[in-house]
Amino acid sequence: MIVLVTGARSGFGLLIAVAAARAGHRVYAGLRDLETRGELEAAAAGLPVTPIQLDVVDPDQRRAAIDRIIAEEGRIDALVNNAGIAIAGFLEELSSEELRRMMEVNLFAAWELTRLCLPHLRRQRSGAIVNVSSMAGRSALPGLGGYAATKWALEGMSEALRHEMRPFGVRVAVVEPGPYATDIFGRNRQTAGASGDQASPYAAMAAKVEAVFSGTKFGDPQEVAELVVRLLDEPKPGLRYPLGPNVRARTWMRRILPFRVEERVVKKIVGF
């Protein structure tokens, strides 16, 4: 299987690329900057993984990446839309530029890459699209409203795409990680430019949310990589795959209980 994985510098993307190659797939690993490929190359040494220049918000790079794969391999069998960013901040304090940036990376780039792949997958009447969403795509928490908006949109797009691709034999699935120890919570963590102002009406809330975040139990991201690789070969995947610490309780609460119960739980956790 010829697989393109976006956002493969580190975290889920790097682990997915390596795990897919170990499973016998030929992997093209998209990087926003090829100069950062050292960690990927070290992890994938001896495996069929090719780092490829791919800033997902650059139309020319998106097109060049797909064209290169088709030229070199004659086909593409799977796209893993993993690249994503999160900018934390209360909605009133997010700038329009910050929200648009998240939408460009998390939603529009995934849509554009999918559109470039679909003609090839439809002609083959086979293939897979795996979109890496988040539990934020099911349950929106304070301080992550903008990020949640992008993931809810990605989930809706994925659900419709699954229906549209069924007649062509193209499988679509969504992976919904909870909190995992990746760079999105580490060196790549971003907050809104207006955050941190002690005069903000949200300053007390922000401190409580930060305290909750600091005490969060993070899972092993290898679990996510292994799930994605299983989905590449799954002939009849489900649509949504939530996983991670406390995820079962969160999904159960969302499915079974009225929203006011969830609202009380969130209020109790964050303390406001």
pLDDT tens digits, residue range 113-151?
Answer: 999 999 999 999 999 999 999 999 998 989 999 999 999
Write out the catalytic residue numbers.
Answer: 147
d(CA 168, CA 53): 29
Burial (Cβ within 10 Å: 0-12, 13-18, ≥19) of residue 58: middle
The mean per-residue pLDDT over the stretch 247-270 comes to 81
CA distances from 135 to 77, 206, 246 (A): 27, 20, 10
27: three-class secondary structure by DSSP: strand
Report helix angle 59-73 to 109-124, nearest 10.
20
Classify 2-270 by CATH class: alpha beta
Mark out the alpha helices in the chain (DSSP H runs): 11-22, 38-43, 59-73, 96-103, 109-124, 145-165, 203-214, 222-233, 247-256, 259-270
Domain parsing of the chain, residue ranges: 2-270
Mean residue pLDDT of the chain comes to: 92
pLDDT reported for residue 182: 73
> Can you tell me the mean pLDDT for 267-271?
76
**Pairing outcome for strands 2-5 and 78-81:** parallel
Other Cβ atoms closer than 10 A to 240: 16
Count how many Cα atoms sit within 13 Å of the Cα of residue 103 in the half-sphere of its side chain. Answer: 11
Tens-place pLDDT, residues 1-29: 999 999 999 999 999 999 999 999 999 99
